[in-house]
Structure formats: C-alpha cells, structure tokens
Amino acid sequence: MDKVRVRLFGATSVVLADGSCVSDLGGIKPRQVLEMLALSLGAPVSKDRLVEQLWAGSPPRTYMATLESYISLLRRRMGVGRGRDSALATTSNGYLLDPALVEVDVVEFRTLVEPGTGTGTGTGTGTGAGAGMGAGSGAALVGLGAVEQAIGLVGGELLASEPYADWAAHERTLFGSQYLQACNRAAGYALEVGRAHVAVELARRAIGCDEMSESSWQLLIRALSATGATSEALRAYLDLRRMLVETLGAEPSAASRALYLDLLAQDRVEAAPASSVHEVRTLLGLLRDALEGFPDLDLSPRERGLTEKAERLVRAA
C-alpha cells in the first residue's frame, strides 16, 4: 500500500495514496496541526501541546472541540479513517501520524543525513562506483550518496506556509544547522573519494546556509585546490578573511591560514606555461592583496620565506 506523503519543504501539501496532491487542508490551523504532527512523525503529540502552539496560550473557550474538528477535517482531506489504526491516529492524550502509513520529506532528510547512515559496515566489498575501493572510501561514497539524495528532497524553505509562527521559526533554525552539517560532511566525503567538483558545490551550499561557517570555507578552499583552481582557492581565502574582519573584527583561524600558506607554497606560478598568463596575473594580484592585508604579523621562518618569495613575485609583476 502506498503511503500518504506530507511535504513540508515549500508550501505544505499532502500527496495521497492515489497520487493526487492536496494543498487545501481546511485552513490555517488545520494545516498547522498537520505540520506539528508531521514534524513528530511516529511520536504522539499531546492535545495540550497542540493547543498551546495553535493559540499561543490564549485558546478559545471551546478549544478542545475545535481541535477535534480540525482532526476530523484533516482525516477527510487526507482520505484516511479514524481511531487508533488510522494514518492520523488517536492516542491516549493526543494524536500521531503513523510512519507505517505516512512519510514526511523533512523526516526523510534527517534520516538520510544522520551521521553513520548507511556507512556503518564499511566493508568496501560492494559493486559499481565503490568497487575496488577501501572500506573508508566505500563508506564515504555511501555517505555522499545519502546526503545528495537528502538534498534532492529540499524543494523550498522548510514550513514556508508558516512565516510567522515561533515554533516554525525554531524548526527552520534547527534544520539550517542540520543542512549545514550535512553539506560539510558530504563535501569531506567527496574529497575523500576524489570528487572535488562535487565538494566545491556542497561547500558552496553550506556557505550559502551560513557564511560565517569557517569550516565550510576551509572545505571550499581544499576542494577548489583539488580541482586545480588555485587562484579561486586563494580568492576564497581572501573572501573569508574580508568577511571575518568586516563582520567580527577577527582574522581567520590558524587552520585556515595554514591552508592559505600551503597554497602559496605550491609555487605553481614560476612553472606556469605561457598559456596560463591570465592565471599567473590573478595569482600575483591575490598575493599582493594578501601582503597588504598582513602588515604586522609575527611570521615564523617558514612564513617569512614564503612572504619574501611572494614579494619578489609581486615586484616582478
């Protein structure tokens, strides 16, 4: 039997077992009841909690009868029965959506991106893209695939139908953190299995979610470097530094700075062919920006050597 599917990404809607889609759920508050139950798929939600979130502590005099009428209306719109065996079931003190009969997109997302999902065995004995790889790489491929599948579920802002409800705002904040962590984790997986361009896309998604996430910028720098786009990687570091200085008045962490110094140490400029003149000029411009941005640093001997080399290159340019 096909499940009823509740979509909470974008405008809230329900795909019925026959494949038809219902977006009119009987009004704002019946829709909100469904959303609250969907977010807690498989766990009962008490009537008291539903009443508190629906009416923010000021329910109408007949609130219990009104709530029960919302449940009846939802069951009709969803094409399900009533009672304890319903897809929208009655419990001892509240209601729940039965996960055996209902699926919810954001719940599926969270299941897919949970750390270790599908990667626990790590045998490395599968076939296809992961065949012949070690256990770690095989697990990374599975983890990457799970996150990519999860991202494909995100068809819009979570609970877009509830722009003002405090409980919905809380859920969006929670989801944003989960999305960021999932993208970062998957970018690391992609780098591990040699899919640097995928890592770039995932790191950019994470930065789009929270531009203050320095770990996401570090992944972007590593991924761009792995694709051979050294000038873009250097520019990403300088963008990170500029953002941190302007927003927090702080410099990048030691880890970020080490990535930057490693890029400089690759010294690709001297060996660049004539066909890469544009890239060489870009790199030199980035080096000039960097030197101007760090006038008072107490540099280590290694860093001083790199800086002196950079200064010679800038003067030569």
* pLDDT exceeds cutoff 70 at 243: yes
* pLDDT exceeds cutoff 60 at 224: yes
pLDDT at residue 2 in the model? 84
Mean pLDDT of the chain: 86
Average pLDDT for residues 222-228, to the nearest whole number? Answer: 95
Query: What is the dotted CATH code of the domain comprising 4-104?
Result: 1.10.10.10
Average pLDDT for residues 248-258, to the nearest whole number? Answer: 95
Any idea where the domains of the chain sit in the sequence? 4-104, 114-223, 228-317
pLDDT in tens, 35-59: 999 999 999 999 999 999 999 888 9
Q: Quick one: how far is CA 145 from the chain centroid?
A: 14
Q: Which of 286-290, 296-300, 303-307 has the lowest mean pLDDT?
A: 296-300
Q: Which of 14-23, 95-104, 249-258, 286-295 has the lowest mean pLDDT?
A: 286-295
* pLDDT exceeds cutoff 70 at 252: yes
pLDDT in tens, 135-191: 568 899 999 999 999 999 999 999 999 999 999 999 999 999 999 999 999 999 999
The pLDDT-based confidence of 279 (bands split at 50, 70, 90) is: low
Q: Which of 67-81, 126-140, 163-177, 220-234 has the lowest mean pLDDT?
A: 126-140
pLDDT at residue 121 in the model? 36
pLDDT at residue 135 in the model? 53
% residues pLDDT > 70 (the chain): 77
% residues pLDDT > 90 (the chain): 70
* pLDDT exceeds cutoff 80 at 312: no
Q: Which of 88-97, 170-179, 248-257, 305-314 has the lowest mean pLDDT?
A: 305-314
Partners of residue 46 on adjacent β-strands:
94
pLDDT at residue 1 in the model? 58
